[in-house]
Amino acid sequence: MGLGLAACAPNPPLSNPSDAMVPATDTSAYGARTDTGPNGEPIEIHAVRKAYLNQRNTRQRVAYNGPEDVGTVVVDPYARFLYHVIAPGEAMRYGVAVGQAGKNFQGNATISRKAAWPSWTPTANMVRTMPDLYGPLKNGLGGGVDNPLGSRALYLYQGGRDTMYRIHGTMDPSSIGKATSAGCIRMFNQDVMDLFNEIPNGTRVKVRTQAESIQLEGPLVEMPNGYLEPAGGVQTATATQ
């Protein structure tokens, strides 16, 4: 797909924190962190609650059967995985949430911009079509704990032009591994921060098609809790591929 992708519009910040934003105790890679905000201020990042760290969501080194070269980032919006190919036949795999716009782009792109605690501004079309939702944010929302892009953002370009496709963090870790109403590709803040440090500008990105996803990951079904599981042996689920 070319550059006709609409902006990856994240959900506006919540007026009241949900249970997903309550601090949790965790000493793994998903533990609490202190980071430096856009104005030099310290920002506390909560640990991810253990309830959200299921097997498909947590980062792990896995065998990789795709054709991409070492260093490539591979996004599979249908399996809700992101891979960073780290060696021949080997990748670091991350669970992601996929918004509606996350399936509107496929093919190759390049990460040409990286931002820590990114700001976000809705497009003029978003403000015009959904003024109640996006009108209050028409002048932009600065980076920080209230920004739905989370701690980091990676911007995909194609032919030197912004595709409007983003890989970014989230302020709602309960969404990871699920389909969401808005946004592109969300990661746990801890995961996107570590990926941000691993890859430079110029990194190639491949976004899989649905056919490629089925070929490489197999058919999946969505369970009542919103998470995906392999289709074999699942009784009560909704087909997603």
- Where in the chain are the domains? 19-217
User: Which top CATH class is 19-217?
Assistant: mainly beta
> In a 3-state reduction of DSSP, which class is residue 215?
helix
Question: Catalytic residues, which ones?
Answer: 168, 184
Considering the entire predicted model, what is its pTM? 0.86
pLDDT at 2: 43
Helix H or strand E encompassing 213: helix 210-217
pLDDT at 233: 57
Contacts with 118 (C-beta within 8 Å, 6 or more apart), sequence order: 143, 147, 149, 152, 153, 168
- pLDDT, block means (10 residues), the chain with 241 residues: 51 45 55 95 96 95 97 98 98 95 92 96 85 89 90 97 95 94 90 98 98 97 96 54 54
| Cα 149 to Cα 144: distance, rounded to the nearest angstrom | 9
CA contacts within 13 A on the Cβ side of 89: 0
pLDDT at 11: 60
| Cα 67 to Cα 89: distance, rounded to the nearest angstrom | 9
pLDDT at 10: 62
